[in-house]
Structure formats: C-alpha cells, structure tokens
Amino acid sequence: MQLSEKSEHALSFGIKTTLLAGICVVLIGFVVFMQHLSDPATIGANLAVMVLTSLYACIISLILLIIKGRLHRFHA
C-alpha cells in the first residue's frame, strides 16, 4: 500500500470520526437541553452548543474531504 493510499484511508477515517463525534455531542447536548427545559434562560445556550458543534464537525469534515480529493487528484 502506497503512502497516498494510506493517507486517503486516514483522511476517510478522520472524516467519519469527526462526523460521529459531532453527532455524539449533539445527542449529549440534546439530553442536557431536555433536562433544563423548565429554565428558559438556558434554552438558547444549549441550542447554540448543539448547532455550533454540528457546524464545526461539518466544516472540519469538509476541509478533510477537500484535502482527500486534492491528494487523490495529485496521485491519480
């Protein structure tokens, strides 16, 4: 297995791991959100954490996907 193939596999793993971690944090944030539903002051903060976590996970995955595509195109 060449270095470029190993790098592509590592980037694929990074993309999957990033998205899975983002989903896990959103689920944990949802549980915290449901626990503090009676306090209206914390609703916005809990929703912001869930949305920002999803956004960051998508951005990191997009960056890794772009790097993977360029690596594949460079070594193809």
pLDDT at 33: 87
For residue 12, the model assigns a pLDDT of: 94
Residue 2, SS3 per DSSP: coil
List pLDDT tens digits, range 28-65: 988 988 888 888 888 888 889 889 999 999 999 999 99
Name which of 2-6, 11-15, 28-32 the model is least confident about.
2-6
pLDDT number for residue 18: 95
pLDDT given for residue 76 in this prediction = 65
